[in-house]
Structure formats: C-alpha cells, structure tokens
Structure 1
C-alpha cells in the first residue's frame, strides 16, 4: 500500500511529506523550540523551491494571525484589571465546602473566561486558586486539577475566537470560498461538551484520588512557614552578622563573588536604621555591605565548614527561625513558580536564564516530581513540571507576571493575588470586551478590526499600557502558526490533499457521512498526539474541506469536526500546554491523562459526529 501511494506521489509531494515527518519527529523529541522548528520549515520550503518566498511568508499577512495576537492583549487587559481574579474569588466564596459544587463552578468559570481569552492564561490564573481550595477542603489536588485542564480545553470549543484552531479552520473556509462560521457557531457544541465534561469528571474523579488521607501530601500550602518546612530551608538558609574587621565591609555584593568562591548566595540584608530594622532584597548586586549587617544566605555547598568560614571572613552565625521570615514579610517574601511549557526556560538553568539579574529574585528550592533536588540548584537545567521556590521583594514577585512569559506564579499570598495594576478600570475592561463581542456577533466590522478596537479602548481606558500589551503576546505561538501554514499550501499545491482525500473517500466514503466525520475526528486526534492543536487544524482543514467538495456536500460540518477534534487534546500531558501546566501541581502520571482522557475523547467524538450534522446539515 505504501509503495503504491509513493508511486503516485510526485517528487515535490514526497519532499513535503518528508519535511512533515521530520517536523513531527522534532516536535516529539521536544529538544528544539516549536517556533524554531516552524522557522526551519519555512526555510526548507524556500530552499527546496516547493513554495515561493511570497507563499512561505503568507502567514505574516494573514488577518487571523493578527487577530490571535490582539486576543492575547485583550486577555492581558482582563488580568491587569482584576476581572479574571474577581471570577476566581467569586468561585471560592460561592463554592463553600462542597467538592461537587467546586468542580461544577470551576469548570463553568474556566470555560466562560476561556471563551474570550487564552486558555493557557486562564488555567495559570486558576491553578493557585484550586490549590488553596484543596487545602481549605482537605482534599487531593488531583481531584480538581484534571477538571481544570479539561475545562481549559473545552473553552476552545465555545466561540470563534476562543482558540487558534477555530480561527485557522474558519480562515480556510473563507479562503476556499466554502463559507464561514459566525462568532457563536461553536457554542451549542461547546455547551454540549461542557455538560458532558462536568458529568464525566464528577463520575471519574475517584479514579485519580479517592483518599483524603493523602491530601496534605498532594496539596500545596501557601504560608511561609509551610514553605520553609517543605523545602527544608532550615538546613540551607543561614544568617550571619558582619562583625568589625570583616573583609565584607565596604564592598558590594557583586564584588564579593560569594557564589563562585564559596557557593553562597545572599538573599536579603537586614540593616538597622533609626531604631528599626530595614530589609533589603531588591537589586542587591550594587548594595554595599556595612558593619552589623545581618546577611541571610543560601548555603548551596553542604560540605562547607561554616565555623571556618566565619573565622576567615569575621562573621558570626545567628540562628534562623520562621519568625525571621515573618518579620520581613512586608518587604521580602517567597513564591512558588513553574516554567511554562514550550517557553524558553525549559532545558536552561537559572544561571543561563540570568534569573537573579533579570528578575531580582533568587531560586532557593526546586522540586521535581515531588522530590526535592539537592546540589547547586541555580545551575540545574529546568524541566517541564518543575516547581521553583523563589525569594525576594514582594514587588518583584508581583512584577514577575509582567516581566516573563516563561514562568507563572503557582502559589503566592492573597494580597499578591489581589494586587492588580489597573483594578479601578475593571468595568472599562468589561465594556471593551463586550464591545468587541457585539461587533463580532453583528458583523459590522471584520473580527480583526473588532479586536483592534477593543485593544485601543483598553489602552484609552488605561487598562493596559504599551509595555504590557506587547509583553502579553505569545510570539512563539504566532510563529508556530505562521510557520506551519506553508504545509497547508504545499500539500494543496503538490496534490497531497487530493491524494489523502481520494484515499479516505475510497476507504470510508461508502460507509456513510457519519463514518466520514468519525474518520476525520480520529485522524485529528492521532495527529494531535504528536503536534500542537493549531498545527493539526492547519493540516487537516484543507483535507476536510476538499473531501466535502468532492463528495458534493457542505464543507461546514467537516470543518467544524476538525475544529472540535483539534481542541480535544485530552489524552496525554504533552498534547496541550494546558495539560502540561497541571502535571506538576496535580502530581499526575502520564497514565492518569490516558486513563481519563482517552474515554472522554471517544465521548466527545460521538457527541460531535451526531450533533454537528444537525446544526450544519450536509
């Protein structure tokens, strides 16, 4: 069969298929950033002559790519004004102590917010909320983290702008003049999947964790004292008093080279001014050490003789207690963060990321799969799902949200959660988003202009500024979309789409229309195990639309099936960043996602293939 297919494949098509296989292999390996793979694909198509430069760069002029970028900005406006956090606080208040009510409200809230902003951002917001709820209710985080990720994926099935695959499929419909989807075309199907998801998660949550005795081990507490105990900081964090005659006096922290010489890292300096202690934690590199300063130091070298060190450097060791952290809590704090999948932090150490100089925070603990790592932590390459404990100025911890898209804060105090830079503009943000939705629903202006109007309104109302707007855009995601678009063009140009369509028509075309939809859904689900849902939609949309046209049927039900199947990435933790994000906090295994996700994917497929033809007749 393979030889027969190859014999009918022209040389450019064979090259295209080889490039596709190589790209999928690189995606699976996960050693090269996905956006870099996409750029390599674009270069390969140019060098092989399969596509012209104009065809390869088509994605940069695609209105839907700009629309995705603008929607990142809209989502940032909801975060900066506190709208997203108000929803999470409402959830905690209304849910009370009913786990069933918590699960239902959680999935409703996440799906509702995710209909208008990035599902990755929504899940990042709700992870710490879920952890706090689990602590208060004394239940395992496993019981709620999986419903959180499932709701994040379902949110992509709710509206046209909810996720990139929807926009990609709609753009292909418009390009081929096969029709278009309206803003709420997805909503009836999404609501059906949401109801199905809620019932399913209520039924199977016991598969993940049925024991409340393990709750204290699988949930994360947010107090400083608990973090000290959890990360064994009593064994590593030490306090030293700078005595008269110490060579430290008069030198800046940078000049001491403590990390390279002794394996020491100054976390904070306690200095008395006007009969009260002042705690310094931000930008310590240029801070000059004075006599009687109390240095809080992370000792990463367990073999270091502290008594000999004190004698040599004229220091006096002082005991460290939880109170020492509590006394500094107004200016110095801790937070747990985790690297975002497919971001630049994976595979790099804190030193390589210049973490301290860039963010003003120190990494003092790393947990990997529940185990506390030892040794020189700042030189340890980070992996997806790692939990990092950072210490520093509260303001810098709060600013971490704005300074990086490589990490998100997993646990932080409630006052940090409430501290949003544009809280007073919340109603303006709601008005701006509502205006965008109305413009999209009515079709007065194209969707991209509606989103642009909303972004300009958010800027006018001071819900966002230029820095936060540009910083909110997930450039790797945009490059991935742009870089994978040439595959769609190449497969059509070289006849690959027609070959796949002919093969599927001869295989399942005579079995009935519903079987064709099932085959499309299964194919999307299988491809989605290896590449992103956006790339899946880019590859499958032209196949589905061409198949419908050759069969003389409406392309809409075929395109909708591809869009829903692309978002149904429930089976593995690497199928979607949303799944990967809950992997560490929920302490899941790979098999947990397969066990929960595979049956649910089948249920979603059955719902889709029977409901879609009713809403979009053949």
Structure 2
C-alpha cells in the first residue's frame, strides 16, 4: 500500500465520519475534498472539478425542476385526492394504493419530494379512517425508496452507476433496465407491509389519540395560545403613527408580536400582513400575539395611544378568511436548522409570523425569536393563506405537516396541469426512444414546463437541491483518486480473495451487503460513487459481465430501509409516524435481507454473468 493510497483512504475515512456526524454539512465536506485532493497532488485540478461537467449532474438538477413543476400544477396533490377517493374506508386498499402511487410518482421525480407531498395527504386520510398514521407512514417511506429502483432517472445513484459504466467503456443502463427488479421488489414490499403493519399498531407512550381533521381552534389549544391575543386600535394621538414596525421593537420591549393589521379603506376593510417596513396609521387595528406577560396593560395602552377592541374569536379565528395558520416541520437538510427566527428575519422573508414551536411534542413557552431551531421542530405559522401555500413549494426548508380545515389546498398553477403531464410524457418518450441523450430530454422537458408556465424561473432555481449536486460533484474525485492510487484494485482483490471461491452469487451478495452497510453512514449517492467502480472492476477481475455487479450496487444503494437516518425519506416520516429508532430496525432489517435475496437471484437471471 503506497503512501498516496494511505492518504486517500485516511481522507475517505475522515469524510465518512463527518458525513455520519453531519458536521459540517455534507456539501461542505464535498467541497473540502475537491480542494484537498488536488492540493495534496493525488489528482489535478481538472480531475477534481470534472463532476461539474458530468451530464448526470445536469440531469439530476433538471429532474428536480420537473418535480417542482408537478407540484406547482397540482398533479401530485390531485394524485393524493384520487388516492383518498379510491381507498374509501378500506385500510388495506389504502396501503396498497398509497405504495403504488408513491412508487409510480417517485419513478420520475425525487423520492424525498414524493414522500413530502404524501405526508399531509396520509395524515388527513388516516384521521378520516380513524387509522393510526404509524401503520401508513412506514409503507410510504418504503415505497419512496423502492421508487428509486423503477427507472434510470428515479434516483441519483442509478445515474451515477450509469455514468460509471460509460466511463469504463461500456454501454450505459437503459431507461427501464432496473424496472423488472423494482417491480418485483415493490410487489414484495406491498405484501411485506401488509403482513408486518401490525408491528406498527401500538403508538409510543404519550402519543396523541386519533382525531378528525384539525381546525384553527385545535391549533390554538395544542400550542397554548388562548389568552395571548390582543386587538388594539391606534388612536389619532398615538406616538406609533408614521413609524415602521422595525422601529417599535415590540418583541423585545413588550413581548408582543404584530401578526396582522386591520386597515380601513374607502371601500372596505383589509387585513394586512405586517412587515418590518410597514408603517402604522391612525385608525389601524393591531392584532397582537402577546407571548410575555404585560406588567400593566392599561398603562401600556395609554402610553402607546392604543384602545382595546372586542375580540370575536379565540386567537383571531374570526379572521380566518384572511389570516390562516399551519404547522410546518424542518426536514433534515433545511437551511434554517441552527438559526434563530431573529437571524432569519422570518417575517420579512416569508411574510409569516411564527407564534408557536413544539419540540418533542411539547410547546415551548419562552421567547421564540431567540430559540435556535432544531431538526424535526414543529413551527406554527400565522399569516395570509397565500404565504402559507407558498411554503408548500419550498420543501427544502419546510414540510407543511397539516393545514387546518378552514383551507382547501390550491396549487398556484393548477390550470397548467395537462401541460406538465405533456412535458413529463415527452421526456419519458425521448429517453425510452434514445433519440437524444437523457440529459437533453430532461432539459427539453424543463423548457416545455417553463414555456407552458407550469413554473417560473425563481421556483425552478429554488427547486434544485444544490446540496445533493455538490455532494456528487465532490465525491467523484474520490473515485478517480482511488483508481489512480490503486485503491479500487486493492478493494477488488480483497473482495475476490474473501468470497471469490464461493462463486459470483456470493460476490453479488457481498457487494449488496457492503453497499447497504456503507449507506447506513453516508448518503446513497456517495455510496454509489464509491462502490460502482469497485463493482465494475470486480467483474473485470473474474471475467464476468459488469452489468449484474453494477445493477446490484444501484439496487443496494436504494435499499436504505434499516434506520431512520439511512435516508431523508425515512427521516421525514419519523415524526408524523410517531416512530422510534427500533421500529425501523424491526421492520427494515428483515426487508433488506429479502431485497438482497431477490436481487442476487434475479439480476444474474436477466443480465447473465
């Protein structure tokens, strides 16, 4: 083992440890790798930055945009509505249709996005059927992961394996190369979840009982908001007149937050969403959330020139036509984690106020603006319904868990749904026909969605998960470094020496196991980047076709069923499903073993060794 290889393996071990700890973020680690490898002389700068010109990276970015178009046009939400109608009152039918729908939609868009779309749908249906969300959320995550096994473009690891085959001089994978295996595993998954759902029947101690769809009053009760509301009219002699909210410092000085302003116009009244620059006018009625006790409310009103006004509903529920509430949670890659609401300028950026925060199912009573946000925190936001709907399109930072019964979900570009489906169909046809490269087919679909106004440029750029792209770009130099320093050859020799005498089936099983185990600690994309060259080189070493080995790595990369941190898909359902770590181990480990058996038996059958 030469010194350069020792250095690369050491750097790889450090990167894996940082990935597992998620400190710093994975994309930051990837950028560090791109810097350190050429500085140490292992590879040159051109090799370190080669990932930026890789067609697979551009294709993945385009697929994020296409998925956003399906969300904005309401295609995904309409699928959820169809699911609710078809399921009727049958839990079994619901589970089967849910898994089929999630897997089908996930075959052409991000599985994380699909699960995020279906979570509020499942919560609503579960409440209506009086079924525990625990019995449905894990089947949803399983189907989301299996969707990555259905088509070439379903998940990034498939495209990484495809790219590695072409880089090694072989033909890449076809659009439906993985489909037979994915369909078999999906059928196995549906049957498995029908048989094992009873393991998920009992909620953990202290879990909320099932109930019907929540209302604004439910949210007021759950977040202990009752009694915090104030409705105050600005008198003509008030010192607040003409001053913007940011100069009043109501939060810090008086423990109050302006969540709305009733303003009278010539032809009617309007409830405004306040911003930092909103100026107070005489006659305005301020809707206040007082989260800290006032020392002397009467004296304060006199000093600020405010008159109390009658409240007609608990915490402004009488304003529900203009002002709404929603619960949102923070997904694992949210950029808000670790920051305070004050640092984020939350109201200015999103047009909403955060009036409640629940952590580990308990509402926090302290000053929320100074509380640092954590993963899985549940925020209660209040503001215009339009701004709340806008959060549904920002799935990188927020996951809208539930909307109260006072609102019907409306997609911002619902009328363009047929054109979104047309663009999606065009991409699939072009990929299947092979008339243009896959990346061009996806870019054509993106242009079509833009031309038909299914999405605008701002939403297109926001939809791209840059962290995933940078992770792929940063990990590709590792594969090149391992090849140049002999690391791939060393791994192949170790694998063949360990199980080579047992035959190619044993090697396939070992590859699957190793890939799945690495996937417990790093992302499935990074796992595929590391394992695809090993798989192809192993096939060449024993004189076999590289396709069974490459496909095994692709399938194993999506088999992240074993822990809640194996994939963002699992992490998303952890809170809504009220799961514990052991629930995933209990259900996921046996299913992963079943998937390995199916893979090892089917892959050599359809792609001979």
Question: Same fold judged by TM-score > 0.5?
Answer: yes
- Residue 80 (structure 1) aligned to one of 72, 76, 89: 72
Report what 1:299 is aligned to. 290
Unaligned residue ranges in structure 1 (runs of 5+): 1-8
Report what 1:540 is aligned to. 531
Q: Deviations over 1:145-186 (max 9, x none)?
A: 111111111110100000000000011111102332110111
Q: 1:213 to 1:523 in 2, by over 3 A?
A: closer
- Residue 555 (structure 2) aligned to one of 536, 559, 564: 564
Do residues 267 (structure 1) and 259 (structure 2) align? yes
Alpha-carbon separation, structure 2, partners of 1:97 and 1:498:
57
Q: Deviations over 1:429-478 (max 9, x none)?
A: 11111111111112111111111111122222222222222221111111
Does 236-245 or 224-233 show the bigger shift?
236-245
Q: 1:220 to 1:558 in 2, by over 3 A?
A: farther
Contact 1:369 1:587 in 2 (8 A): no
- Residue 388 (structure 2) aligned to one of 387, 394, 397: 397
Alpha-carbon separation, structure 1, partners of 2:170 and 2:43:
24
What does residue range 127-206 of structure 1 map to in structure 2 within 5 Å?
127-206=119-198
- Residue 438 (structure 1) aligned to one of 424, 429, 442: 429
Report what 1:550 is aligned to. 541
Report what 2:199 is aligned to. 207
Alpha-carbon separation, structure 2, partners of 1:495 and 1:229:
63
SS in 1 for 2:230: strand
Report what 2:503 is aligned to. 512
Report what 1:466 is aligned to. 457
Contact 1:59 1:65 in 2 (8 A): yes
Do residues 333 (structure 1) and 324 (structure 2) align? yes
Contact 1:367 1:373 in 2 (8 A): yes
Report what 1:490 is aligned to. 481
Task: For residue 215 of structure 1, report the CA deviation from its aligned partner.
Answer: 8.0
Q: 1:297 to 1:565 in 2, by over 3 A?
A: same
> How many residues are aligned here?
609
Report what 2:116 is aligned to. 124
SS in 2 for 1:570: coil
Q: Deviations over 1:56-93 (max 9, x none)?
A: 00100100101101111111111122111111110011
Alpha-carbon separation, structure 1, partners of 2:209 and 2:120:
16
SS in 1 for 2:365: coil
Unaligned residue ranges in structure 2 (runs of 5+): none
Q: Deviations over 1:285-314 (max 9, x none)?
A: 333324453322222324755455335434
Does 508-517 or 322-331 show the bigger shift?
322-331
SS in 1 for 2:560: coil
Contact 1:359 1:403 in 2 (8 A): no
Task: For residue 593 of structure 1, report the CA deviation from its aligned partner.
Answer: 1.5
Contact 1:264 1:301 in 2 (8 A): yes
Q: 1:195 to 1:403 in 2, by over 3 A?
A: closer
Report what 2:22 is aligned to. 30
Task: For residue 27 of structure 1, report the CA deviation from its aligned partner.
Answer: 1.3
Contact 2:261 2:284 in 1 (8 A): yes
Contact 2:204 2:579 in 1 (8 A): no
Contact 1:67 1:448 in 2 (8 A): yes
Report what 2:63 is aligned to. 71
Alpha-carbon separation, structure 1, partners of 2:82 and 2:405:
14
Q: Deviations over 1:325-373 (max 9, x none)?
A: 3332222111111122123112112222221111111111111221212
Do residues 19 (structure 1) and 25 (structure 2) align? no
Do residues 234 (structure 1) and 226 (structure 2) align? yes
TM (norm. structure 2) is: 0.95
Task: For residue 240 of structure 1, report the CA deviation from its aligned partner.
Answer: 3.1
Report what 1:257 is aligned to. 249
SS in 2 for 1:437: helix
Alpha-carbon separation, structure 1, partners of 2:446 and 2:408:
24
Q: 1:219 to 1:24 in 2, by over 3 A?
A: farther
Q: Deviations over 1:246-277 (max 9, x none)?
A: 43334322221111222221111223445854
Task: For residue 415 of structure 1, report the CA deviation from its aligned partner.
Answer: 8.3
Do residues 360 (structure 1) and 351 (structure 2) align? yes
Contact 1:140 1:216 in 2 (8 A): no
Contact 2:51 2:473 in 1 (8 A): yes
What is the Cα-based RMSD across aligned positions, in Å?
2.2
SS in 2 for 1:514: helix
Contact 1:138 1:215 in 2 (8 A): no
Task: For residue 519 of structure 1, report the CA deviation from its aligned partner.
Answer: 0.7
Does 520-529 or 305-314 show the bigger shift?
305-314
Report what 1:344 is aligned to. 335
